[in-house]
Amino acid sequence: MQSRGRSPRHCDVSGRVGFVQNLERRVRELEGQQDVLASFTDTHQVTRIEEGASQLAVNPTLNFNETPGEILLEDVPSSFSDQHTSGHRNNGDANTERPPTAAASQSIRDNQSPHHRRQDSLAQNLRDVSLAAVAEPYLGTISGLTFAKLTQAVLRRLSPDGRDFVFNPHVDGNAVPIEGATILHLDLMDNVYFDSDQAIDFSFLAEGLPTLDAPTQDTTIQLPDRTEMLRLTNFYFDHSHTLYPILHQQEVMSDIHSIMLDPDGRLTQSPPCMFRIWMVLAIGSTAHASITLTEEFASRLYYEKAMTYFDASMDYGDIVALEAIMLQVSYSFFNQFGPNTWFLVGTAARLALGMGLHCDSTSQALSRVQAIRRKRLFFSVYMMDRLVSITLGRPFAIHEDDIDISSFSIEACDELDRDPGAPQSTLCHPPMAVTEQILRLRKIANDIATKVYCKRIVSRYSTTERQQILAALHQDLVSWRQSVPFPLPNLHSKVPHGCTSWYDLNFYTHLTALYRPSPLFPTLDVDRVNILTEAAAMAIRHANSMRLQQRLAFNWLTLLTIYNAVIALVYSVTVQPENLAASLERLRAVEDLELATELFTVLGERFPASRTIGTMVAQIVDRYRHMSSAPTC
């Protein structure tokens, strides 16, 4: 990927960032050397769950503090994606997992058996997918890695001798690079992340996509024709704007119509205006392509063109600067071509807090329209922060205690939203009703992350309080699902949150995160295991339903969501206390996992890691089928 021109100020900042990154790299190398030394003493220290697979089948209450290798479930919410999860502690916690350097990993491979190397396959895949999605060297302690390790340990029940379940590296001609994927990722991190002048380069994640040559990035790129421009703009406002109402819709649409009437008019000389228009086209194009699985070359051209106006736009005040950064965040959710999502969200949050958008008092002297717009900007940053931080298991950039806004809601405003040229529905709810519903979901996700997965807070609860919290959060999710606006707004036919399946999917993914082993309930009884099984299975089914409706966004958030649902389903089915064959027949787990492999196959068109995951899930399904045909397990 070609680097864009940088100002002297940016180069200076890049130099300082590079210096810090080199220090971090050296620290990781030293940590990797320590890992090598530790491996000599740890290689043979692998214990079994309780007394082995036979006891798993009859133990109705599982104590996960006694699992192999001291696997503790204190830090493990899943990805409550948009279809997502959250960290409340710093990345520097004692239990934070850091991947070793490539050189250290090679030494580890040389001193470990293939059997040992493969025992953490599910955890490795979650790390690969999560890190590849943002190309950063660290995942927080609550990103789901610990739960993946536990699930890998529970899979010993599928092994005849009770040892680790080992995946076949080659099935039907498809390679399963169980260890190679991790090493490849670390090598790419070494060559791309640390040597790049951007916060990140995503280009290695999706294969076969065209790259931009320097001649295509000049100022000769023209706006698309009227039909295409309106198609992409309308899709942006139906899709991305209802997720994050960043822009003044009426103002942007007015600017677009003016430019179409007068392509050489004064608006074309306004950097903020042109940046917004090109970013709307880029986001609309990439969001649509993520659903239809079409090529994204045009989207990248639009994005590159928008970035030629970025530096100049940043000189037009804080609101314009915040808009510009948030539009890049929105783009990064669907296209791995721009800067680092995590970095951008943190920057936007800092800017929003610095402007006082988190306080009602800073808007008291403003007009109603201005106050509503500032509030929308803040809640958009809040939702982005909760989505990204929870998905990656990292600390929130905006703390709940710092928010001083009386009404935690998205207000409707015709002056901001009404497009005079668009038809208005008298039957359906307005589009901002969807945004309000999503904001409520992000707040519930915040509560789950804080009250269920924050060890410091959970340690204060009594047994009765823990049960009350679980019941209250479950009821919050039920109330949220029951309050989905009906009829839903009349949005584009491919917008995911324009159908009820999207809300069902989010309900079940959040329910899965609520009922997984956690600091709140590290030990699951049979009832909670059954709820977890049903929630994970229903999440997979609704994701597949959206695929059949051609409304599923095939982005990295969706990949993480489905993978975490699969891990939860495999865990909860395999750990059932009854005969495993009976459990499989009763729970329809094989059929649900086969749906998941179909989803991974489609996702594999954009993300190579998805093909590996799909092949691994297929091997688990094969083992389930074999055990179902046996008289006992």
Domain membership of residue 495 (yes or no) is yes
d(CA 53, CA 156): 7
pTM: 0.76
pLDDT at 631: 59
If pLDDT is split at 50, 70 and 90, which confidence band does 422 have?
Answer: low
The tens digit of pLDDT for each residue in 154-188 reads 777 877 767 666 666 665 555 554 433 333 333 32
Domain membership of residue 567 (yes or no) is yes
Q: Tell which residue, 126, 47, 120, 68, has the closest CA to residue 392.
A: 126
For the chain, how many structural domains are there in total? 1
d(CA 355, CA 578): 58
Kindly tell me if the per-residue pLDDT of 248 is higher than 90. yes
Domain membership of residue 215 (yes or no) is no
Quick count: other Cβ atoms within 10 Å of Cβ 38?
11
Mean pLDDT across 388-410:
89
pLDDT at 313: 95
Kindly tell me if the per-residue pLDDT of 82 is higher than 80. no
Mean pLDDT across 409-419:
83
Domain span holding position 173: 1-202+438-633
d(CA 488, CA 430): 8
Q: Tell which residue, 113, 142, 143, has the closest CA to residue 128.
A: 143
Mean pLDDT across 67-93:
38
Contact present, 602 and 554 (Cβ < 8 Å): yes
Domain membership of residue 320 (yes or no) is no
Kindly tell me if the per-residue pLDDT of 71 is higher than 60. no
The tens digit of pLDDT for each residue in 561-582 reads 998 899 999 999 998 888 888 8
For the chain, the C-alpha Rg in angstroms (whole number) is 25
d(CA 304, CA 286): 13
d(CA 518, CA 514): 8
Domain membership of residue 197 (yes or no) is yes
Domain membership of residue 426 (yes or no) is no
pLDDT at 536: 97
Domain membership of residue 265 (yes or no) is no
Quick count: other Cβ atoms within 10 Å of Cβ 278?
23
Mean pLDDT across 598-610:
89
Domain membership of residue 234 (yes or no) is no
pLDDT at 186: 33
Contact present, 28 and 97 (Cβ < 8 Å): no
Residue 555 DSSP label: S
